[in-house]
Amino acid sequence: LGERVIGSELAKSIVDAYLDAEVQGGRHARRREQIRELERAGRTTERSY
């Protein structure tokens, strides 16, 4: 999803929706856990975009 195509505000909304969505495992569970591990380790900030 390129910023020139969808704009930065829509991109932020999409990311927020993805990170806030409840999942039932599946193919994205590992990726979401990796994001959580980075957040716990303090390697990311609160959605500071």
Q: Which two tokens stand for residue 26?
A: 């599946």
- The one-letter amino acid code at 15 reads V
- On whether the CB atoms of residues 29 and 23 are closer than 8 A, the answer is yes
Structural domain spans, the chain: 3-40
Give CA–CA dist 7/26, Å, rounded: 29
CA 31 to chain centre: 9
Convert the pLDDT of each residue in 1-38 to its tens digit.
Answer: 676 888 888 988 998 898 888 777 677 788 878 888 98
Q: What is the pLDDT of residue 13?
A: 92
Residue 48 has pLDDT above 80, yes or no: no
Tell me: pLDDT of 45 over 60.
Answer: no
